[in-house]
Structures are given as structure tokens and as C-alpha cells.
Structure 1
């Protein structure tokens, strides 16, 4: 795939993550090869760090740091020898932004996870946001904002093999253990989960096996994966995150929710895009059908992660979690 094709494929994901679409085009129009992706996006992120240093107000500093975090995270989406460094830079930029903009935000770390807890201390529920194959806590800031606006607390996390932890950990099949540890650390009475892409599988699995989960939603989450049909680039990313090709193959063989779906007792919303067709991936309709309290929302024009259709699902998903957890809709 040439850089023009790759940039077009990442367009709605990048703009859905919150970068300016015009700036995205300016950055990607200058790429000669895929190898230029990471350096170009990191340079853009560093440009925002410089603006943050020169800003005339603390708020502007924080806002520039949030933008920098997005660009650094997106730098990790193409093969790049400095991708791990970019993930660390994204983490640092987000940490700096929240320290300035939300003094009440709290970093929460534990075995196999790290992230930021945001929102009121007396929130009626706390939503854990679970990233996917190559996403991270810096990618879904608009989702976090929508949940915060509905009176919920939100813990956006990186788990094993994800985000800033990708350099030192690998995927684990029993992600429910990670969610359980996060719930223990958060000390929240009512917990919701929302998982995006492969994070949808992690969230659904955790909802089936962790009884403290009271509400769950998935976005573009796989019901089942087939290693033989997965495209080579997806296998390559999986191998990087799982700790090698053999580990990735073994991990993929376990991604099947047929037996677990009937055990999801919490109200479940499954969101899919009608244009999200990936070889080797069975989308979420069977999950919604087999879960006792499952609801299926398919957006016909939506792509993977539905960055091109946010008004069609983001408010509904946020309301689902807020209403189920007893939140206060805005």
C-alpha cells in the first residue's frame, strides 16, 4: 500500500480521534513512502509541544498538549522503528494536558494496566474504556468527553500490549483479569465497559466473566477471528502486540465469543459499521443476538470504528451507559 492509500484508509480514524482534517491532509500529502508516516506525525506532535511551551495561558498549553497526544498516538499506526517512543510521547502529552486542564484527574496504575480516571468523585458509575489492536487511551478522547458530559466518571486505559505498555508487555487472552484489577484499583461501585475494535472483544469477554460489570458496549468489536483469512498486515500487528507469530496465532484462535455471549448479564449495546468488512473478522451481530440483554446498532455507511458516522452512534452509546449506570444525562 502506498502512502496515499494508507492515508486515505486512516482518514476517518484520524479525524475521529480529533485531529484537524485539513492539517491531516497537509501532513499526509507530503509523504513519499509509508516509512515517512511516523516521522511526519511525530514532527507535527513536537510542533504542538513547542506551541504549548509558548502559549500565553495555562488552558492553551493544556489544549495544545491534547492535540500533541493525538498526533503522537497516530504516529504509531504505520510500521516505524520509533513507534514505541511515539507511544511514550503520547502518554506524556496526555498526562501534561490533564494535569493542567483537570487537576482532579488521577493516574491509576496496576499490574497490566495504566490510565487516567476523570470525572466527579460522586459519579453514579465509572466507565472503563478499553482500546484495541493498535489503539490506545489517547485515541478516544471524544468518547470520554461524551461520557463525562453525562455525569459519569471515566477510566481510559492501556492494557497489556497496548499504548504506552506495548513496549514492555504483550496481549493476554484472559483480559477479564486486567479489568478486575482495574475495578479493584478504582474502587467504584458500578462499572461500565466500552471496548473499541479488538477492545470490543476484550470488553465483551470481561462482561461475561467479571460479575461487577453492570453495563457494556462494543464498537467494531470482533465476535470471532479466523487466522487463515486475516490479511498479512493485521497478522503482523498482532504478532508485534502478542509477542511473535506463534503467540499471535494462539491468541487469535481464542477470539470467539460464541460460548461467552450468553453469559453477559449486563445490558449490552453492539455497534457496527455496515462498511466495516475485514477478511477473517466476524462482526458483532451474533454477539448482540446471543447475549440475554443485547441490542444491535448497525450504521449502514459506517466504517471501522465509525469515525465517519459519529452522530449516528456516539450519543446513543453514551446514553446507553449513562442510563444503565444511573447517570445524569446532560
Structure 2
């Protein structure tokens, strides 16, 4: 795959995560091959770090650091590159950004998770943002901002095989146990979840098995995955995150919500893009249909993660979570 094709395939995801599209295209132009992609994004991220150091105000410095965190994170999506270092730099940049912009944010870690708790101390509810296969806590800041504006607190996390933990852990299907430990660490007897991409499976599974989940939203999450039908590039990504092809095959064999969906008793919103068509992946309509209190939002022109259709789902999803968790609607 050429660098241009690689960049184009991720453009919607990049802009959906808040990367400036013009800067993104300039970074793509600076990569002659797909193998150069990670380095090009890291160079861009470091430019933002330099701007932060020279900024005239703490607010500007924090905003530059926040942008750097997203660029460092996107550098981990390439097949080649020093992913561990890029993820560590993304994590560090986010820490510096929050220290400047939200000094009340708390770093919370435990077995198999690490993340930031943001928002008012007296928030009526906390939403855990669950990332996907090759994602991390630095990616979904627009979603986190929408939830914060509605008075909710947000815990943006990395779990096994994700973000800053990808270098030392591998993906696991029983993510509900991780969510249970997160709830313990946060001292919560009820929590909301929003899971994106593979994180949607994690969120739905947790809603079925972790009784403290009070409401869950699933965005572009798989209902079931068939390893044999997956494209080679997706198999490679899963294998990299799972620790090998055999482990990846075993992992995807567990990604099936057929038996778990009817056990979800809390309110559940499933959001899909009509253009999100991946061979080997069943989208979320059966999940919404089988869950006791499932609702389904299909955006016909939306792609995977609906980065090309943000106004068509993000405000409504944030309102839905606020209403489900607090009864106010934000």
C-alpha cells in the first residue's frame, strides 16, 4: 500500500479524532512510503510540542500538547515504527496538556488499565470511554468533550493491548473484568460506558456481565467476528495486538455477542454507519435487537467510527448517555 492510500484510508478517522485535515495531508505528503508514515506523524507531533514550549500562555501550551498527544497516538497505527515510544509520548503529552488545561484531572491506574478522570468532582455520573483494537485514550477527545459539556465526568482509558499498555500487554476478550477493576478504582457503584469499534464489543460484554454498568453506548462495534473472512491487513493488526496469529484467531473466536446480548438489562444505544462494511465483521443491529432495552441509530452515509458524519450521531449519543445516567438529558 502506498503512503497516499494508507493516509486516505485513515483520513476520516483522523479528522473525526480532531486532527487538522490540512496538517494531516501535509504529513501524508512527507511520507514517501507507508513504512514512513509513523515517522512523519511523529515529526508533526514534535512540532506541536515545540510550539507548546514557546507558547505565550498556558492555555495555548496545553492545546498544543493536546494536539501532540493525538498525533503521537496516530503514529502507532502504522504497520512499522516505534509504536511503544510513540504511545509513551502520546501519554506524556496528554499528561502535560491536562496539567495545564484541567489541573483537577486525576491519573488512575490499576491492573490492566491506565487513564485520566476528568470533569467535576460532584458529577452525577461517570462515563468510561473504551477504545478499540489499535486505539487509545488520546483519540476520542471530541467525544469526551461532548460528555464533559453535559456535566458528566469522563474516564478515558487504555486497557490490555491498547495505547500506553500495548507494549506490555495483549488484547483480551474478558474486558468486563477490567471494567470491574476500573469501577473499583473509581469507587463507583454505577458507571456508564461508551465503546468505540472493538471497544463496542468490550462495552456490550461488560454491560452483560458487570452489574455496575448502568448504561452503555456502542459505536461501530462488532456483534461477531469471523477470522477466516477478515482481510489480511486486519488479521495482521489483530495479530500484532494479540501477540501472534494463533492468539489472534483465538481472540476473535470469542468476539460473539449472540449469547450475551439478551443478558444486557441496562439501557443500550447502538450506533452504526451504513458504509461501515468490513468482511468478517457483523455490525451492531442484532445487538440492539436482542438486548432488552436496545436502541439502534443507523447513519446511512457513516463510515467506521462515523468520522465523516459526526453531527449525525455525536450530540445525540452524548445526550442519550446523559439522560440514561442522570435523567436530565444534559
Common fold, TM-score beyond 0.5?
yes
Separation of aligned partners in 2, 1:32 and 1:48:
22
CA contact (8 A) 2:131 2:198 kept: yes
Aligned-partner SS, 1:204: helix
Q: Deviations over 1:177-203 (max 9, x none)?
A: 000000000012431000000000000
Partner of 1:34: 34
Partner of 1:104: 104
CA contact (8 A) 1:125 1:188 kept: no
For normalisation by structure 1, the TM-score amounts to: 0.98
Aligned-partner SS, 2:217: strand
Separation of aligned partners in 1, 2:27 and 2:243:
32
Partner of 2:167: 167
CA contact (8 A) 2:35 2:81 kept: no
CA contact (8 A) 2:117 2:153 kept: yes
Q: Deviations over 1:258-317 (max 9, x none)?
A: 000001111000000000000100000000000000001110000000000000000111
Shift of 1:328: 5.0
Separation of aligned partners in 2, 1:31 and 1:111:
37
Partner of 1:130: 130
Aligned-partner SS, 1:218: strand
Partner of 1:257: 257
Separation of aligned partners in 2, 1:329 and 1:275:
29
Partner of 2:50: 50
Partner of 1:284: 284
Separation of aligned partners in 2, 1:162 and 1:34:
22
Superposed CA RMSD: 0.9
Gap runs ≥5 in structure 2: none
Structure 2 CA distance for partners of 1:319 and 1:100, relative to 1, 3 Å: same
Structure 2 CA distance for partners of 1:56 and 1:327, relative to 1, 3 Å: farther
Aligned-partner SS, 2:160: coil
Q: Does 1:20 align with 2:26?
A: no
Gap runs ≥5 in structure 1: none
Q: Does 1:323 align with 2:329?
A: no
Aligned-partner SS, 1:77: coil
Aligned-partner SS, 1:228: helix
Separation of aligned partners in 2, 1:229 and 1:222:
14
Correspondence 1:261-276 to 2 at 5 A: 261-276=261-276
Separation of aligned partners in 1, 2:29 and 2:302:
25
Q: Deviations over 1:147-199 (max 9, x none)?
A: 00000000000000000000000111211000000000001243100000000
CA contact (8 A) 2:134 2:162 kept: yes
Shift of 1:236: 0.8
Separation of aligned partners in 1, 2:64 and 2:133:
27
Separation of aligned partners in 2, 1:24 and 1:247:
34
CA contact (8 A) 1:215 1:267 kept: yes
Separation of aligned partners in 1, 2:54 and 2:132:
34
Q: Deviations over 1:18-50 (max 9, x none)?
A: 111111111112321001100000000000110
Q: Deviations over 1:75-114 (max 9, x none)?
A: 1111123111101110000011001110110000000000
Separation of aligned partners in 2, 1:321 and 1:327:
9
Shift of 1:327: 6.1
CA contact (8 A) 2:272 2:297 kept: yes
Separation of aligned partners in 2, 1:119 and 1:188:
15
CA contact (8 A) 1:194 1:200 kept: yes
